[in-house]
Structure 1
Amino acid sequence: MQLQVEENGIVTLTAEGEELIKDSPMYNEGLRPTRKDEHNWTAYNFSSLWIGMCICLPSYALAAGLISLGMNWWQAVGTIFLGNLIVLIPILLNAHAGTKYGIPYPVYARLWFGSRGAHIPSMARGIIGAGWFGINCWFAAGALDTLLVAMSGWENVAGHLGISFAIMWGLNVWIAYSGPNAIRKMEFWAAPTLIVMSVALLVWALTSAGGWGPMLSAPSKLTTTVEFMKVFFPALTGAIAFWATLALNIPDFGRYAKSQKAQIIGQSFSMPTTMGLFSFIGVAVASATVVIFGEAIWDPAAILAKFSPFVIFLGTLGIILATVTTNVAANVIAPARAVENLMPKKLTYRTGVLITGLVALLMQPWYILENFGNYIFVWLGTYGALLGPIDGIAIADYWFVRKRRIHLSELYQLDGRYSYRGGFNQKAIYALLIGIIVPVVCKNISPLTFVWDGAWIFGLILSMFFYTWFMNNDGSLVSHTEYKSVTKHIGEKTST
């Protein structure tokens, strides 16, 4: 029986396919495959999505913070741009699966970890997303607190920064609660607005510092190759890890693409270029603060505090907009879907949003941002070591092991081919452990510390290799003949 139909590279369920799985405990409206009319995101939608996500306070802090670690402007921008080019590869590879089959990340994870084992990668991604949610809210709270202090006697209120954080946390949870369908409309208008505000910030820095020369003339403090490499590799891992989260759950957005061309062009054009340009703005402004104020300031709220109340007001609005566009797109959908996937018939996306907000508080973002070392080496570096191996397994499974052939309806069956043994694919768990343990062990061996510094890359390669090896001729694979028997082809010839 043909349970799915492929038209111009997009696979959707037939009426028989949907009827077969609609009563499954692994199915609900948020986790089901998208239908043909729901594939409506254009290249511009993906471009505006990434512009809205990249222009955010953590991006600014990452770029400007590399200056405080001793890099000069071109070393900092080059490190971030290189990291984004590297992470763009798994983003596009995993987005392909979401676009072709219309499945969200937790369902995609059932392919490699099993119907129950999928909770391992989806919850890992979800917890990190919740951490980022808190970080963005804390940044925005600092800006809001600065605004209120500048315009009133807010500094005399006990716990004023904590109150500002509670306000921003509540605002972000409320907006995210409205649902993921609002993201496309919000990003459509937010993207050009954030671009204008970013350029205005650069113009101020250029004018106040007296031109490009004084602003970007500061030499690198890393005078030897050894000194530079000690900072470069952890910083590169941090730049990669910055979007390693989206490299996993990009199917949550790719599932709405009109075509593979739309998601590839939209993401390839916008993500690395926006991060590169906004990184340059962050580095340029931080360099300008050395000329203007005598010190490098990488906290935007601290820079805002030195302006008039009106400028602080406009800057705070921009920070709030940047926070919301990043949080609702990058940091809420993944954990909310992960929670929903735990019990699809009982938990909803909105329940997941509320739980995400609570977990964000438990992650204590104020500690992560206490100093830049925590941000780069503890936060980004540690979770990069976890997500790299998961990225490697995802890519290996879809591209090398299954060769892009999926029996879509069986992803929603408890006793289907993707249940493996007891709902867990032990081969994926073994590959994950190898990808994590090897870099951790190397961290404590002096000649091999570079493996830990590049944990995302090494973990990805290790897990990708071992997973491909372990899954050779696995019983869950769909042959070309079987794929043709369950799939009705319309229009262009399929490329499975």
Structure 2
Amino acid sequence: MESQQTVGRTFLPKLQAPPEWGIRPVTPDFRILRFLDFFVLWSSLGVGLLVLEAGALLVPGLSLGQALLAIGLGTLLGNLLLALTGVAGSDHAVPTMVLLRPVLGTRGSYLPSLLNLIQLIGWTAFEFWVMALAAERISLALWGVSGYGVWLVIFAAWCILLALGGPLVVVREWLEKFGVWLVYGVTLWMTYALFTQYDLGALWRQPGTGDMPFWLGVDLVVAMPISWLPLVCDFTRFARSSRGSFWGTFLGYGLANIWFYGLGALFILTLQVSEPTPEHLATAIMALTGGALALLVILVDETDNAFADIYSAAVTIQNVFPQVSQRLLVVIIGLVSLGLAAFLTMGRYFDFLLLIGSVFVPLFGILAADYFVVRGRRLQVDALYRQEGPYWYRGGVNWLGVGAWLVGVVVYHAIARGLPWLGASIPGFAVAFLLYLLLARLAGPHLGRE
């Protein structure tokens, strides 16, 4: 009996939540995540029906070869930013929004916190929506019953419970023991089916319609890893080493993003999916794999994306209101996202992705310039949490940083609207990065340096 209880404790997920760290630095005894932990976490977060849908948007506007090139280049650019930003979190064990205080000022960081909260609630609602629609297809196929509203509530409740558990529980007790390995198996199954049942050589030779400029496609791919930038340090602050967090994040998310963007493009070209909607992709997956099991496994994995969004949304609010209970915020955010999910449509998804890129690509351009170049990865961690310190600037705002950020956003939108063939991600990042370096040089010691 005792041995059976031991086995149960070993393999069943732990439901006891760890302590609430809020936005304070994680203590050394909880900085335990290694390379494999981050590889598993980020490869799992890179998997999902929403990623398939984003990949499906690339074709047939681009040819298959162009789409795969855009996927590879966009993933490399966005993923490098993601992993480098995560290094700042693992260096000092603090969440992302707190790390914006040196570059924007303590109060200046409240604006990206608000924008991040909006995008995280939006992502959570999209996740609930896409999971419920796909699960509806399963229940219709198996039992002839829709149950959309019931599925919404079930997925929302499970994701809220995961967020209450926190990163250490989800990574060590759920993903590494169960979730990610099931998804790897199903993804290999889908990939094998595509390569053996369809003539991919003929698809490779098929030209695109030209409706999508190549660099706009790259922007669409960049947007996915960029959407995780405001969250990444919320997880890498638990890292044992910055090197492990960087390579685990870079390789894990890069592999999944390329794989699922590519599968999304192939689904549109091979399975005669008329529109890249959750319902159509769910039907295509079931047809390709011969049943609902593969789709069900992907849905189970999709919940960790919503977990990450809910958890980081709570941490983001605590950057402004640190005294509010994180667990209370988790429940409130989950319920708000559940209500919002009832009003979403697929037509808003493309614009949502590009809006994310326009805000956060330039923002992390100035963060990269400030942290890696101006400060050389050095911060006064205790000063991050007090007023009238080096990161308070004028009234709590570093207007030089805010100005460089806004210029980058304007450049991004100007290119996206007027010159979409040029691509807005690289210019938006470069302008914000270089302008901040110039302003920092002009400001000299008044920039809040140590």
So what's the TM-score if we normalise by structure 1?
A: 0.78
Aligned to 1:391: 364
Q: Residue 295 of structure 1: CA displacement?
A: 5.5
Aligned to 2:408: 435
Q: Residue 399 of structure 1: CA displacement?
A: 1.3
CA RMSD of aligned residues (A): 2.6
**Residue from 191, 194, 202 that aligns with 1:202:** 191
Aligned to 2:349: 375
Q: Secondary structure at the match of 2:162?
A: helix
Aligned to 1:343: 321
Aligned to 1:22: none
Aligned to 1:360: 337
Q: CA contact under 8 A between 1:388 and 1:460: conserved in structure 2? A: yes
Distance 1:355 1:474 in 2: 42
Q: CA contact under 8 A between 1:135 and 1:365: conserved in structure 2? A: no
Q: Secondary structure at the match of 1:250?
A: helix
Q: CA contact under 8 A between 1:46 and 1:267: conserved in structure 2? A: yes
Aligned to 1:303: 284
Distance 1:121 1:295, change over 3 A: closer
Q: Residue 212 of structure 1: CA displacement?
A: 4.1
Q: CA contact under 8 A between 2:215 and 2:420: conserved in structure 1? A: no
So what's the TM-score if we normalise by structure 2?
A: 0.86
Superposed, 1:188-199 pairs within 5 Å as 188-189=176-177, 190-199=179-188
Aligned to 1:36: 28
Aligned to 2:432: 463
Distance 1:231 1:363 in 2: 32
Q: CA contact under 8 A between 1:237 and 1:384: conserved in structure 2? A: yes
Aligned to 1:494: none
Distance 1:450 1:283, change over 3 A: closer
Q: Residue 474 of structure 1: CA displacement?
A: 3.7
Aligned to 1:149: 140
Distance 1:465 1:55, change over 3 A: same
Q: Residue 239 of structure 1: CA displacement?
A: 0.6
Residue-pair matches, total: 425
Give the letter for the 2:302 counterpart.
Answer: T
Aligned to 1:317: 296
Give the letter for the 1:103 counterpart.
Answer: V
Give the letter for the 1:302 counterpart.
Answer: T
What CA deviation, in whole Å up to 9, does each residue of 1:271-304 have, x standing for no partner? 22222223333333333313xxx85766422325
Distance 1:119 1:219 in 2: 48
The answer to whether structure 1 residue 280 and structure 2 residue 262 are counterparts is yes
Q: CA contact under 8 A between 2:153 and 2:338: conserved in structure 1? A: no
Distance 1:278 1:316 in 2: 14
What CA deviation, in whole Å up to 9, does each residue of 1:36-93 have, x standing for no partner? 22221111011101110111111111222322x4333232222112101001222232
Give the letter for the 1:338 counterpart.
Answer: T
Distance 1:97 1:439, change over 3 A: closer
Aligned to 1:56: 48
Q: Which runs of 4+ in 1 moved over 6 A?
A: none
- Give unpaired runs (5+ residues) of structure 1: 1-27, 480-496
Distance 1:43 1:75, change over 3 A: same
The answer to whether structure 1 residue 267 and structure 2 residue 249 are counterparts is yes
The answer to whether structure 1 residue 123 and structure 2 residue 96 are counterparts is no
Aligned to 2:231: 249
What CA deviation, in whole Å up to 9, does each residue of 1:144-167 have, x standing for no partner? 111221233424xxxx43443333
Identical aligned pairs, as a percentage? 24
Distance 1:450 1:277, change over 3 A: closer
